[in-house]
Amino acid sequence: MSNHILVKKSKINKKGVFAVKDFKKGEIALKWNPKIIVRSEIDKLPKTEKHYIQKINSNKYLLMQPPERYVNHSCDPNTYVKNNCDIALKNIRKGEEVTSDYAKIGAFVNFKCNCGSKNCQKIIAR
């Protein structure tokens, strides 16, 4: 796990990823270490694990691992995803929760949004 982030209780969801240092816009906040799985493996996963899947193509998926699986969705995110990294969209202050827009990264499940941002979409659909 990166020594620049910490997983702890979140207001958005049960757990979240928080910055333990300031990140400047464009800086990598978190590098992922996901497991690659194929479509046939998804049905064998517990329902709780399916929330952590992101589609690569019609047969390949990423199964997010800790800590990246705890980066919560926000309709006003402070990171974007590129090359299996969360990159700061804007400056992120120490103590701030690291968030991403699941709708833009191929979330596998539909869910009710709890981000609380002014432009909250309420429901995130795949």
Half-sphere exposure of 32 (CA within 13 A, CB side): 22
Q: What percent of the chain has pLDDT over 70?
A: 94
Q: Tell me which residue range forms the domain holding 19.
A: 5-124
Q: What is the pLDDT of residues 70-96, one digit of tens each?
A: 999 999 999 999 998 999 999 999 999
C-alpha to C-alpha distance for 59 and 9, rounded to whole angstroms: 34
Q: What is the CATH number of the domain that holds 114?
A: 2.170.270.10
Contacting residues for 76 by C-beta, under 8 A, at least 6 apart: 99, 115, 117, 118, 119
> What's this model's pTM, rounded to 2 decimal places?
0.86
pLDDT at 2: 64
Domain count, the chain: 1
